[in-house]
Amino acid sequence: MKKQEKVQFVIDTLNKIYPEIPIPLDHKDPYTLLIAVLLSAQSTDVRVNQITPLLFEVADNPYDMVKLTVEEIREIIKPVGLSPMKSKGIHGLSEILIEKHGGQVPVSFEDLEALPAVGHKTASVVMSQAFNIPAFPVDTHIHRLMYRWGFSNGKNVVQTEKDAKRLFPKDLWNKLHLQIIWYGREYSPASGWDLERDIITRTIGRKSEIEAYFKKKNKTKKTLKR
């Protein structure tokens, strides 16, 4: 299969498996999405979705958020991890949204990335999922699968994002990045990977990855036989 045929195979397969794709983080507007994405760093979406209702019950907009102290925010969000940094970021960005943006989340990569604790990935998620502006946020699942599928060299997420944007049509980015995330979780995880279930990697995957999979599987079988 040529590279473009592989790309089309991925698109077609993901559309069959995920014709409609839910957004993993619960939110009701750009601000609550921004906070949820910020909280998701080095945490799970499930954990974040357990904590955000508690936080948003107290403050679901920047005006109410700045009434809380950093310590009060930290106490609520502690279970998601990295709470000292995240609580400062949430309070600080809420202040800036009020001072510079009229309390609204800006529709701009530059303005979003200027906010405390907001990096390129967080900004990309907000632009894509809150404002429907084409972006390709790269998380660990996308980074892993782009390498497994032979679409990127796996050096870093910056390169992976460039490769994804180059290979996939721009009008599909917003849906596709979510489809790949769900596929990575359900069919092609980092641990407990079953190639039999992973039709995409099994069909178009990087040869070295497939060989490494079977080598590990055979090693495990030999160990179990002892």
Catalytic residue annotation: 121, 139
Query: CA 80, CA 126: separation in Å to the nearest integer?
Result: 20
> Cβ contacts of residue 221 below 8 Å, gap of 6+?
none
Q: Taking the C-alpha atoms of 89, 94, 100 and 103 in order, what is their torsion angle to the nearest 10 degrees?
A: 150
DSSP state of 197: T
Find out whether 23 and 48 touch, Cβ atoms under 8 Å: no
Find out whether 146 and 163 touch, Cβ atoms under 8 Å: yes
Measured in Å, how far apart are the chain's first and last C-alpha atoms?
A: 40
Nearest partner of 32 among 65, 66, 61, judged by Cα:
61
